[in-house]
Amino acid sequence: MWHAGWLQLNHAKSEVLWCSSTCRQHQIPSRAVHMGNTAVQRVSAVRDLGIMLDAEVTMSTHVSAVVKASFAALRQICSVRHSIPCCALLTLIFQALVISKVDYCNSVLAGVSDTLLRRLQSILNASTRLVFLARKYEHITPLLCELQWLRVPEKIKFRLCVLVSDVFVVQRHGTSPRPCI
């Protein structure tokens, strides 16, 4: 039996995002959307499960947020670099930046512009330089290979391949092959 008080709109956290192409933006109403007695304001970007979605669905807002947070974390890690062993530094960088920021839900970045991919790649490059104490203009590819880190476009392709593979395994066997991450 359903009770009206069980599910309520949180006025402080409710937002509306209208998604459209740039040429159709003028057709979107600018006034608030009414849900019951509540007027919910239109915003240009929303956060859902840690991913920033913008109205044009370019993912530029998400990439900017990831880059900003990653370089802030990298500056903090850099300040304690001399106090921790190299293996701990590598683990910290890998967990704090690569897995939690660059790799997190990166499959949604399939098809984004090369400019956005380069911005994300700059996080991996700076992290690699910090691990190896490499100079800014030193070639990064051999260092990435030594760490066994893929470049951002390859990480996205790899994640998509894993997702597609999981779909085929579920269709064939009826169960998920690994826990969701």
In the predicted model, what is the mean pLDDT of residues 52-65? 91
At residue 33, the pLDDT reads: 81
Candidate ranges 9-23, 44-58, 65-79, 89-103; pick with highest mean pLDDT: 65-79
Query: Residue 22 — pLDDT band, cuts 50, 70, 90?
Result: confident
DSSP state at residue 179: -
First to last CA, the chain: 34
Per-residue pLDDT tens for 125-143?
A: 999 999 999 998 899 999 9
How far is residue 46's CA from residue 174's CA, in Å, rounded to a whole number?
A: 34
Q: What is the pTM of this model?
A: 0.79
| 176, pLDDT greater than 70 | no
Instruction: Give the model's pLDDT for residue 85.
Output: 93
76: pLDDT strictly greater than 70: yes
78 pLDDT tier (thresholds 50, 70, 90): very high
The mean predicted confidence, pLDDT, of the chain is: 86
Average pLDDT over residues 22-35: 78
CA distance 83 to 114: 37
Torsion over CA of 162, 97, 121 and 19, rounded to 10 degrees?
A: 70
